[in-house]
């Protein structure tokens, strides 16, 4: 089984380390969700795995192959990212946008080949956007645009798929659609890692969670292992309660009664 191993990563931005000796494993066939409060290091970790941030120390290996030693072109054939807040080229239709994912596979001189069009079509069919191929991307709903973004990543034919806040700004229907798709892609054999803010969505759809806090992994394991009320309350700085989903029996995280009933501090003393 293919495995991605992150070992002792120290990474961040000029003059500031965000990740401190982070290690984790992600296996093909499973969806790993990175969770944690804002500023915990989730996106930085995803960008480091994807190669847009180079760590000061540590390694990222896929089945023993050091991804950090590869050229950007070689790495893009193995790792694809659907970033948060991605923009699309103005005027491009869905098919043209998805074809951009073939760039790492194109010859240095020459255009797209039959297999490039076939790979793009397969990606569009897999993500349910083939019927939108001729539509301009800017005319689509947020959920449809997110699936186009994932299709573009799949057109790279990667071994590793990284998704940064794939459900951000989507309503409940599209959140469920996107996460069902992402989980299915993991089941198809991709190493799949996604950052998620919603703990309950992470519990419902992810196989494993990595909880980050202040640049370190505080807990790693199944949703039942990681989503513990005392730990979550400490990391998020708010009193949380964990019960069970009535039908799925996954952890269900809510504000504890004392937090939910507390007065608005902005109105205290008014």
Residue 58's pLDDT is: 97
Residue 258's pLDDT is: 80
Residue 221's pLDDT is: 98
**Overall size of the chain counted in residues:** 270
Strand, coil or helix: 16: strand
State the DSSP string of 46-114: HHHHHTSS--SEEEEEETTEEGGGS-HHHHHTTEEEE-TT----TT-BHHHHHHGGGGGGS-SSS---H
Quote the tokens at residue 57. Answer: 């120390």
Q: Are 160 and 49 in contact (CB under 8 A)?
A: yes
Residue 257 has pLDDT above 90, yes or no: no
Rounded to an integer, what distance in angstroms lies between the CA atom of residue 43 and that of residue 92? 27
The candidate with the shortest Cα–Cα distance to 160, out of 4, 15, 33, 16, is: 4
Residue 260 has pLDDT above 80, yes or no: no
Q: Which domains does the chain possess? A: 1-78+158-225 (3.40.50.300), 88-157 (no CATH)
The candidate with the shortest Cα–Cα distance to 58, out of 105, 24, 13, 93, is: 24
- Residue 261: other Cβ atoms inside 10 A: 8
Residue 264's pLDDT is: 64
Stated pTM of the model: 0.92
How sure is the predictor about 262, in pLDDT bands with cuts at 50, 70 and 90? low
Residue 261's pLDDT is: 67
Looking at the DSSP assignment, which residues form a beta bridge with residue 242?
A: 253
Q: What is the mean pLDDT of residues 129-149?
A: 95
Q: Is 56 exposed, middle or buried (0-12, 13-18, 19+ CB in 10 A)?
A: exposed
Beta carbons within 8 Å of 210's beta carbon, 6+ residues apart: 24, 32, 33, 34, 35, 217, 219, 220, 226
Q: What is the mean pLDDT of residues 167-192?
A: 94
Residue 182 has pLDDT above 60, yes or no: yes
Residue 119 has pLDDT above 60, yes or no: yes
Q: Are 151 and 88 in contact (CB under 8 A)?
A: no
Residue 112's pLDDT is: 81
Q: Are 194 and 200 in contact (CB under 8 A)?
A: no
How sure is the predictor about 269, in pLDDT bands with cuts at 50, 70 and 90? low
How sure is the predictor about 263, in pLDDT bands with cuts at 50, 70 and 90? low
């Amino acid at each position: 089984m293919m495995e991605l191993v992150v070992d002792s990563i120290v990474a961040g931005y000029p003059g500031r380390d965000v990740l401190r000796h982070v290690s984790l494993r992600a296996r093909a066939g499973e969806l790993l969700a990175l969770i944690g409060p804002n500023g915990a290091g989730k996106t930085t970790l995803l960008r480091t795995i994807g190669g847009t941030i180079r760590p000061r120390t540590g390694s990222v290996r896929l089945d023993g192959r050091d991804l950090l030693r590869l050229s950007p072109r070689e790495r893009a054939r193995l790792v694809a990212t659907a970033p948060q807040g991605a923009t699309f080229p103005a005027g491009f239709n869905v098919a043209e946008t998805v074809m951009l994912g073939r760039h790492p596979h194109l010859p240095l001189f020459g255009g797209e080949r039959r297999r490039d069009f076939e790979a793009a079509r397969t990606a569009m069919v897999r993500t349910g956007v083939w019927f939108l191929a001729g539509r301009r991307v800017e005319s689509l709903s947020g959920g449809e645009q997110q699936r186009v973004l994932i299709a573009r990543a799949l057109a790279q034919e990667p071994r590793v798929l990284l998704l940064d806040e794939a459900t951000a700004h989507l309503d409940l229907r599209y959140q469920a659609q996107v996460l069902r798709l992402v989980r299915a892609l993991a089941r198809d054999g991709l190493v799949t890692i996604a950052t998620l803010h919603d703990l309950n969505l992470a519990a419902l759809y992810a196989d494993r969670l990595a909880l980050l806090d202040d640049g370190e992994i505080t807990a790693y394991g199944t949703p039942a292992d990681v989503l513990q009320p005392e730990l979550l309350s400490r990391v998020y700085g708010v009193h949380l309660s964990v019960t069970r989903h009535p039908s799925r029996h996954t952890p269900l995280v809510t504000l504890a009664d004392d937090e939910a009933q507390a007065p608005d501090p902005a109105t205290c003393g008014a």
